[in-house]
Structure 1
Amino acid sequence: MEEKKPYLYLNAFLVKDEFTARQPIEFLKPSAQVNAYELEGKHELDGKLYIKVPDEKKPKWSTFAESLTGTSLEELSNRSSSAVLIIKTNNSTMAFTFGYGRFLIDTQYFAPDFGIKTALNTLNHDSLRSVDLFTLDDQAVQKKSQASRKSGVGVFGIDISKDVLRAVTGSPKTGVDFHTISGGDSVYSFSTDLEIERLPELVDQLSDYYNNDSYKNEFSWVDNIRKVKEKSEIDFLDEKLLEKIKAKSPNITITLPEIVQWDSIWGFSFTRTKGTIKPIVDTQEYLDNIDVSSTTIESIKRDRIFVFDIHGNESDYQIYKCIYFEHKASSKTCILFSGIWYEIDNSFISRINMTLNLIKPSSLSFPKIHTWTEVKDGKSKSMIETEGEYNERASKDFQYHLLDKKLVKTNRATTPIELCDLMTNHNQLIHVKHRKGGSAGLSHLFAQGNISAEIMLGDIEFRKEARKVLKRVHNGLQDSVPLNNFKSDDMEIVFLILGEDTVSLKENLPFFSKVNLSKTFENLSQRGFSVTIAGAGTEPKPST
Structure 2
Amino acid sequence: MRRANPPTTTRPANHRVVRKDVTRPRHDPPTLFDLDLPERPEGTYLTSVYQLERVPATTEGLHDAVDQRYLRKHDFTVEERLVAGAPALLVHGTVPRQRADWCDVLASLTGEMIDLGFSSGGAALLVAVDDHVYALAYGTVGRHMVDLDLANTGFGIGFAVRSLAPDEIKQVRRRVFGTTGRVDRNMVPGGQHIRMYGIDKWGEIVGQVCGRTFNPNLTVCRSTRKATPVEGSDALRIHLGVEPENLLADLREINRVCKQEAPFEDLEFITQIRPIPSRDPRLSEVEGRLDALLASPDPDEVGLAVPGRVLGEIERIRSYKLRVPKSGLSTARLSELTLADILTQTGGVPEGERWASLCNGRITLCADTRGEEEIGSTAASRWITAQLPHGTSQLLLHEGGWYEIGDRHREFLRAEIEQILAVPASIALPAWTADLTDEAEYNIHAAAVCGLTLLDRRLLRTSQHHRGIEACDLLGPNDELIHVKRAKGSSALSHLFAQGEVSVDALRYEADARKALVEMVRQQPTARLIDADFRPRKVIYAIALGSGKPLTVHSLFTFAQVALYRAMKSLRNEGVEVEVVGIPSA
Deviations 1:13-64 (A, max 9, x none): 2244762245333331233243244658xx7442435233434222452673
Q: Does 1:253 pair with 2:303?
A: yes
Q: Is the 8 A contact 1:408 1:419 kept in 2?
A: yes
Whichever residue aligns with residue 416 of structure 2, its letter is T
Greater mean alpha carbon deviation, residues 300-309 or residues 424-433 = 424-433
Q: Structure 1: which amino acid aligns with 2:186?
A: S
The unaligned stretches of length 5 or more in structure 1 are 373-383, 540-544
Q: Which amino acid aligns with 1:432?
A: V
Which of 396, 400, 407 does residue 346 from structure 1 map onto?
407
CA drift of 1:105 comes to 1.3
Match of 1:377 in 2: none
Residue in 2 that maps onto 1:26:
64
Alignment pair present for 1:87 and 2:138:
no
Task: Pick closer, same or farther for the CA change 1:106–1:263 going to 2, 3 Å.
Answer: closer
SS in 1 for 2:334: coil
Query: TM-score by structure 1 length?
Result: 0.77
Q: Displacement, 1:160?
A: 1.0
Residue 104 of structure 2 is aligned to residue 61 of structure 1: no
The alpha-carbon deviation at position 133 of structure 1 amounts to: 1.1
Shift of 1:188: 0.6
| 1:75-120 CA-partner distances (Å, limit 9, x unpaired) | x222221212233344644221111211111235442211121122
Summarize deviations over 1:289-348 as a string: whole Å, max 9, x none.
Answer: 423346254333222234343272134332211211111245332111111111112332
Aligned pairs for 1:361-510 (under 5 A) are 362=425, 364-366=428-430, 368=432, 385=438, 387=440, 390-402=442-454, 420-425=472-477, 429-433=481-485, 435=487, 438-448=492-502, 493-497=539-543, 500=546, 503-506=549-552, 507-510=554-557
Q: Distance in 1 between matches of 2:545 and 2:241?
A: 64
User: Structure 1 residues 285, 93: CA separation in 2 closer, same or farther (over 3 Å shift)?
Assistant: closer
Deviation readout 1:493-544 (Å, 9 max, x if unpaired) = 421135647743344444222123235456778969472312365x9xxxxx
| Structure 1 pair 224–502 and aligned structure 2 pair: CA distance change class (3 A) | farther
| Contact 1:228–1:341 (CA under 8 A) maintained in structure 2 | yes
Distance 2:571 2:316 in 1: 28
| Residues 330-339 or 512-521, more deviating | 512-521
The CA distance in 2 between the partners of 1:535 and 1:194, in whole Å, is 66
1:200 to 230, 239, 248: 248
The amino acid of 1:430's aligned partner reads I
Q: Is the 8 A contact 1:93 1:203 kept in 2?
A: no
CA distance in 2, matches of 1:64, 1:524: 51
> Following TM superposition, by how much is the alpha carbon of 1:228 offset from its aligned partner in structure 2, in angstroms?
0.9
1:278 aligns with 2:341: no
* Residues 1:156 and 1:371: Cα distance change in structure 2 (over 3 Å): farther
- Distance in structure 1 (CA, Å) of the matches to 2:453 and 2:407: 42
Query: How many Å separate the matches in 2 of 1:120 and 1:6?
Result: 26
Alignment-derived partner of residue 98 in structure 1? 138
Structure 1 463/450 Cα, relative in aligned 2: closer, same or farther at 3 Å? closer
Counterpart of 1:168 in structure 2 is 209
8 Å CA contact 2:549, 2:555 repeated in 1: no
Corresponding residue of 2:77: 35
AA aligned to 1:169 is C
* Structure 2 partner of 1:380: none
1:12 and 2:72 matched: no
TM-score, scaled to structure 2: 0.72
1:516 is matched by which residue type in structure 2? A
2:198 is matched with 157
Equivalent AA in structure 1 for residue 501 of structure 2: A
Match of 1:266 among 319, 323, 328: 319
Work out whether 1:533 is the aligned partner of 2:533: no
CA distance in 2, matches of 1:498, 1:448: 21
For the pair shown, which has the larger CA radius of gyration, 1 or 2? 1
Distance across 2 between alignment mates of 1:275 and 1:65 = 47
Q: Deviations over 1:268-301 (max 9, x none)?
A: 4434544543322233343334233462543332
Query: How far apart are 1:189 and its partner, in Å?
Result: 0.6
Between the aligned partners of 1:532 and 1:447, the Cα distance in structure 2 is 14
The answer on whether the counterparts of 2:501 and 2:570 sit within 8 Å (CA) in structure 1 is: no
Decide whether aligned partners of structure 1 residues 230 and 530 sit closer, same or farther in structure 2, where only a CA change above 3 A counts: closer
Which residue pairs with 2:229 in the alignment? 180
Q: 1:17 touches 1:92 (CA, 8 Å); kept in 2?
A: no
Q: How has the CA–CA distance of structure 1 residues 427 and 501 changed in structure 2, closer, same or farther, with 3 Å as cutoff? A: farther
Corresponding position of 1:46:
86
User: Which residue identity is paired with 1:515?
Assistant: V
Do the aligned partners of 1:492 and 1:532 also contact (CA within 8 Å) in 2?
no
Structure 1 letter corresponding to 2:271: D
By how many angstroms is 1:130 displaced?
A: 1.7
AA of the residue aligned to 2:387? E
Identical positions, percent? 16
2:118 corresponds to 1:78: yes
**Cα pair distance change 1:307/1:162, threshold 3 Å:** same
Q: Distance in 2 between matches of 1:371 and 1:35?
A: 73
Which of 556, 564, 577 is 1:517 aligned to?
564
CA separation of 1:128/1:155 partners in 2, compared to 1, >3 Å: closer, same or farther? same
Change in 2 beyond 3 A, CA 1:293/1:18: closer
In 2, the alpha carbon distance for the partners of 1:452 and 1:501 equals: 35
Trace 1:226-241 onto structure 2 (pairs within 5 A): 226-231=274-279, 232-241=281-290
CA separation of 1:94 and 1:268: change in aligned 2, threshold 3 A: closer
Paired with 1:439 and 1:113, the residues of 2 have a C-alpha distance of 30
- Structure 1 residue 159: Cα displacement: 0.9
Moved more, 190-199 or 229-238: 190-199
Alpha-carbon distance, 1:221 to partner: 0.9
**Among 227, 236, 244, the residue aligned to 2:293:** 244
C-alpha spacing 1:204/1:448, structure 2 compared with 1 (3 Å)? same
CA distance in 2, matches of 1:400, 1:247: 40
Q: Name the SS for the 1:126 alignment partner.
A: helix
Instruction: Tell me which amino acid in the other structure corresponds to 2:173.
Output: D
- Evaluate the alpha carbon distance shift between residue 445 and residue 503 of structure 1 in structure 2; reply closer, same or farther with a 3 A threshold: farther
> In the alignment, what sits opposite 2:3?
none
Are positions 1:212 and 2:260 aligned together? yes
